[in-house]
Amino acid sequence: MLELNFKKKFQTLNLTVNIKIPTNGICVLSGASGSGKSTILSCISGKIAPDSGFIGLNNKIFYDGTNRINLAPHLRNIGLVHQDSLLFPNLNVTDNLLFGAKRRENIYGFSLEEIAQILGIVSLLKRNVENLSGGERQRIALGRAILSSPELLLMDEPLAALDANTKKQILDLIVKIRDNIKIPILYVTHNQAEADFIATHQVSIIDGKIQ
């Protein structure tokens, strides 16, 4: 269970989150731009700290304002996939994929070759990343996140910059990851069609409040 019960105040937004999310399948968090979706992910990952409250995953406490606990991001064991793939330009595809895997125990037991096969990137493993398409880059970013063996995978509008055909391909891959690898995913989007296609659970946020 992912437990979120916190507040974060900004000049133009008062974010209030109080929800428990099952850690099976994909929970899609949807809402308009500026409603607080990405800020929720930032609080879960440790990029920013709430003003008060509690964030925990299963038996691990990420943040507890009352007891002054704020676990460092690298200790939370969370995978992140953003709109921009954020690949390392000085590393080839294989080294990008394995970057996080070198730092954590392989809790899912999948090898580089297995993940590359699932994502359809076997032919790219020895290539540099500079000339890859947007869809190829997102596949690699997704593979890198999976191979880091996260207890939770956060995806922040990962398809926003892709064309319709590539979006469909990546959505199919996310469903395959949901069904075969079974990493819990919290997926942010403002696209309801995306949400309906991949979601196990859906949550909406309006003006900083969970609905």
Domain presence at residue 56: no
Which domain, by its residues, includes 93?
A: 24-47+77-210
Domain presence at residue 72: no
- Give the pLDDT score at 107: 63
Cα(24)–Cα(149) distance, rounded to whole angstroms?
A: 16
- Count how many Cα atoms sit within 13 Å of the Cα of residue 36 in the half-sphere of its side chain: 25
- Give the pLDDT score at 205: 92
Domain presence at residue 155: yes
Cα(78)–Cα(139) distance, rounded to whole angstroms?
A: 18
Cα(102)–Cα(58) distance, rounded to whole angstroms?
A: 24
Would strands 60-64 and 52-57 be described as parallel, antiparallel, or unpaired?
antiparallel
- Give the pLDDT score at 105: 63
Averages of pLDDT over runs of 10 residues in the chain (211 residues) are 95 92 93 89 96 96 97 93 88 90 67 90 92 92 91 92 89 89 91 92 92 83
By C-alpha distance, which of 34, 31, 32, 2 is closest to 19? 2
Domain presence at residue 156: yes
Please provide the DSSP assignment of 29-69 as one string. EE--TTSSHHHHHHHHHTSS--SEEEEEETTEEEEETTTTE
Domain presence at residue 10: no
Domain presence at residue 180: yes
| Tokens describing residue 92 | 């080839």
Domain count, the chain: 1
Residues 203, 19 contacting (CB under 8 angstroms): yes
Domain presence at residue 170: yes
CATH number at residue 91: 3.40.50.300
Which letter does DSSP use for residue 92 in this model? B
Q: Which residues of 159-182 are buried (b: 16+ CB within 10 A; e: fewer)?
A: beebeeebbeebbebbeebbeebe
pTM: 0.90
- Count how many Cα atoms sit within 13 Å of the Cα of residue 147 in the half-sphere of its side chain: 25
Domain presence at residue 181: yes
